[in-house]
Amino acid sequence: DRSPIKLTDCNALDFERFLGVLYPAAFHQYTASTLEEWTSILALATQWGFDSIRLLAIREVFPLASPLDRIVLAHKFDIKEWLLDAYREVCERQAPLSDEEAERIGAKDTARVARVRERRRL
């Protein structure tokens, strides 16, 4: 059968980014450079079981992501090793969580951060 395979679980842009890792113009030089680009590669690598590309994407996402981004992404993509330091950074910063940040990490994590910050104040 010569019918094309339909990829209904991803969009063309995410697939193009993923292919940029599989078939780079030069080894160790990827076209992806932003958090958004590497996150879409991480999503497809996780979904499709490409472990080595997942590890590459995790390595590339880490320096691009804020502590809050790392909390969100750690939960979404099961990257437990990011959580402790990311929580610590959010709890130790001067500014409290904004409404948008609280919405991003959810009620449970917002409550955890608030409790730790309150204990630190006392």
Residue 29 backbone phi and psi in degrees, to 5: -130, 105
Q: What is the pLDDT of residues 6-19, one digit of tens each?
A: 777 888 899 989 98
Mean pLDDT of the chain: 91
* CA–CA dist 32, 14 (Å, integer): 11
Whether the Cβ atoms of residue 99 and residue 64 lie closer than 8 Å to each other: no
Q: How far apart are CA 101 and CA 12, in angstroms?
A: 29
Report domain extents, the chain. 1-64, 66-121
Task: Decide if pLDDT at 1 tops 70.
Answer: no
